[in-house]
Amino acid sequence: MPKNKTHSGAKKRFKVTGSGKIQRLQAGRKSGAAFASAPTTGSRKKHRRNAGVVELEKADVARAKKMLGI
């Protein structure tokens, strides 16, 4: 029986922590020059809030694990 292949889009978007949780990038980062030295759109508070990674929602964990081959 052939091996399962990891979904190439999922491996770029998700990261598995040591304890097995799945993390994703915070949404809303792409527009508004969020990481330029002088933000052009939105407040600094908004840029800080969108800067990090967050844990994947409970409803999406099973689908992400299947795509990652976990």
Q: What is the pLDDT of residues 17-35, one digit of tens each?
A: 999 999 999 887 776 655 5
Residue 53 belongs to what domain range? 1-27+42-70
pTM (global) more than 0.85: no
Order of strands across the sheet with 14-16? Answer: 14-16, 22-25, 53-55
Handedness of CA 41, 43, 48, 54 (dihedral sign): negative
Q: What angle do CA 29, 60, 35 make, to 5 degrees?
A: 10
pLDDT of residue 42: 74
Tens-place pLDDT, residues 33-47? 555 555 567 778 888
How many distinct structural domains can be found in the chain? Answer: 1
Mean model confidence pLDDT for the chain: 85
Inside any domain, residue 6: yes
CATH number of domain containing 50: 4.10.410.60
Q: Which is more confidently placed, 57 or 45?
A: 57
